[in-house]
Amino acid sequence: MLRRFLLGLLLIFGFGMLAYAGEFSELRGVWIDVRSIPGDEAGVRHMVERLSRAHFNALFVESFYRGETIYPSEFLESAGLSAQMEHFRRPGFDPLRVFIEEAHRRNMQVHAWFHMFYVGLDAPGPVLSTFPQWAARNRDGSSGYTQGGKRFFFVCPLHEGVLEFYRGLLGEVVERYDLDGVHLDYFRFPDPTIADTCYCEACRQAFRRVKGFDPLALDPVENFEAYREWVAFRARELSDFAASLSAHLRRLRPELLLSCAVKPFGFPLEGYPGFLQDWPTWGRKGIFDFLVPMTYSSRPQEFEGMLRFVRTFLRGVPFCAGVWCMGMDAATVFEEIQRAREHTPCGVVLFAYPYLGDDLLAALSRDAFATFSPPPGKEDFPRLVFSPLDPQDFLEKRRTIRAKRVDAPCVVDGVLEELWREADWQGDFTLIVGGKPSRDTKIAVLYDEECLYVAFVLWGASREGKITRRDGPVFYDDSVELFLDPWASRSFFFQFAANFLGTQYDGSSFLGARFDGTWQVGVAEVVGATVVEMAIPFKTLGRGTPRVGECFGVNFCRNDLTQGEFSTWTEVPGIYGASFFFGTLEFGP
């Protein structure tokens, strides 16, 4: 009788616990780059065993990189390309096969990680050498763009033949290998603020057929409304590409998990997605089983802010948080994993294998990944979601500040003159993760015929900083940022930032740091606070003096790195540049 009673308890509670564990199984992934893949079978098996000991359960193995595969590909060979990367081909080694064998033996998944449209570094690479007509073209007709001393080359997904190429390439790997998933990366255009593509004749003609004008004639700043249509056109074409490719792979392998790395930026409510990836639509249409937003930051609150942004627009869609590990200590990695768990039960993917030293792996196995969790299967992912945040909640909190007109120009030195006394001073900032910051910030705005004047009073701040180069990353010092939308467009904006040394940074939503405006900053210390003043000529904003009653979109932001806090005047869903949620700057008498 006692044995039956105990068996009954086991059936009730034991299976209940198993069901609970199954419901909350999370993906614990790591991106494994080509350079880290060993050149022999023993090395690959040791790598998998090492990650298994740290309780990872999903390996995202870089399988197609700069136009070459780590496995032998008959498809590439038939297209006139190399069948396999040379350092794997020479010894006749297929690392993907070994990864799958060893991972499955340890109850781990393997997702083949494909670099899609980024195909060449400092040279066009084999794909564009074979198919030069596929190159993404800049406005001047050139291909490639330079960033950080390197030149990057992209395929344009709108070109004829590109979709068929990737259907063949991916179709081959999912039919030949017992993969658990396929993970797409660089499934995007280049960042339009760095390289605005593609302006080949075929793309321009396709747009002209729909809209009746040539996108090459558009200036992103002067014609931002029409330019936004060009952005939306390319984003829709990329979404159609994604849907077609997804349908093809699911016909071949219905059980396959499809995922995509996405940039967690853009203006989804305005149809202007960052990097032309309309990831909210991809999620809504179920094109991928889950997405992996690259929520990369070494600053945990900023990391969580990006998760809030994703959660606001991926409504009921599973996503795994991408965690940046380069140069991060174990405590910061653990904190970000924990913050991720508060926003998604789906899991995390760590970037990347080279940064997972023995000490970090051992610490993960003791703490964040203390017990093994079976990887979620295809049937699990639809349930691995938390309730979304509601954009309407943020829209209802938009604030208004009035700019007071003054007759004489302000002296921009951080020492507030008497004329600031009657300005509309406001504070009550909100953290990008919700809640109130540790230290107060006050802001006010004045204007005259020529300039807009902005003052920040930052309690608890001192004049310290490291960045001294114009347009350097002042956001990595204690600093302030001003976002201005001079046409109240809810999409286009200018960004002005300064640290407490007075170092300036400026940019715009379409041009990024390529925008260089003329404006002034003054910084001074007062008792218990630092004051930052800005003077921005209306000419710099491309417009004349505003009329009384006219409105700009605006937000004021503070980076308080001493406290690890990021706050805004008008609450936004996680990131500063969410222009649809900006408050209102009303010009008064």
The residue assigned the tokens 């000419």 is: 539
Rounded to whole angstroms, the Cα distance separating 586 from 589 reads 10
- Positions of CATH 3.20.20.80 in the chain: 23-119+156-191+235-389
Tens of pLDDT, residues 357-366 = 999 999 999 9
Cα separation, 237 vs 276, whole angstroms:
10
Let me know: does 443 contact 429? Beta carbons within 8 Å: no
CA dist 538 and 555 (Å) reads: 17
Q: What's the rounded Cα separation, in Å, for the pair 115 and 32?
A: 13
In the chain, residues under CATH classification 2.60.40.1190 are: 392-587
> 275 — phi, psi (to 5°)?
60, 20
Residue found under tokens 């002042």: 474
Top-level class of domain 392-587: mainly beta
List, for residues 15-64, the tens digit of each pLDDT value: 332 222 334 689 999 999 999 999 999 999 999 999 999 999 999 999 99
Single-letter amino acid code for the residue at 334: F
Helix (H), strand (E) at residue 485: strand 479-485
DSSP states of 536-558: EETTTTTS-PPPTT-EEEEEEEE
DSSP letter for each residue of 362-378 = HHHHHTTT-S--PPP-T
- pTM, 2 dp: 0.92
- The CATH code of the domain at 23-119+156-191+235-389 is 3.20.20.80
Question: For residues 276 and 238, is the Cβ–Cβ distance under 8 A?
Answer: yes
The DSSP code sequence of 417-474 is -GGGGGS--B---EETTSS--SS-EEEEEEE-SSEEEEEEEEET--S--S--STTS-G
Alpha-carbon distance of 354 to 36, in angstroms, equals 7
How do strand 347-351 and strand 27-32 relate by DSSP bridges? Answer: parallel
- pLDDT tens series, the chain, 589 aa: 333 333 333 333 333 322 223 346 899 999 999 999 999 999 999 999 999 999 999 999 999 999 999 999 999 999 999 999 999 999 999 999 999 999 999 999 999 999 999 999 999 999 999 999 999 999 999 999 998 899 999 999 999 999 999 999 999 999 999 999 999 999 998 887 788 899 999 899 999 999 999 999 988 777 878 888 888 899 999 999 999 999 999 999 999 999 999 998 766 555 555 678 899 899 999 999 999 999 999 999 999 999 999 999 888 899 999 999 999 999 999 999 999 999 999 999 999 999 999 999 999 999 999 999 999 999 999 999 998 888 899 999 999 999 999 999 999 999 999 999 999 999 999 999 999 999 999 999 999 999 999 999 999 987 789 999 999 999 999 999 999 999 988 888 999 999 999 999 999 887 888 899 999 999 999 989 999 999 999 999 999 999 999 999 999 999 999 999 999 999 999 999 888 899 999 999 9
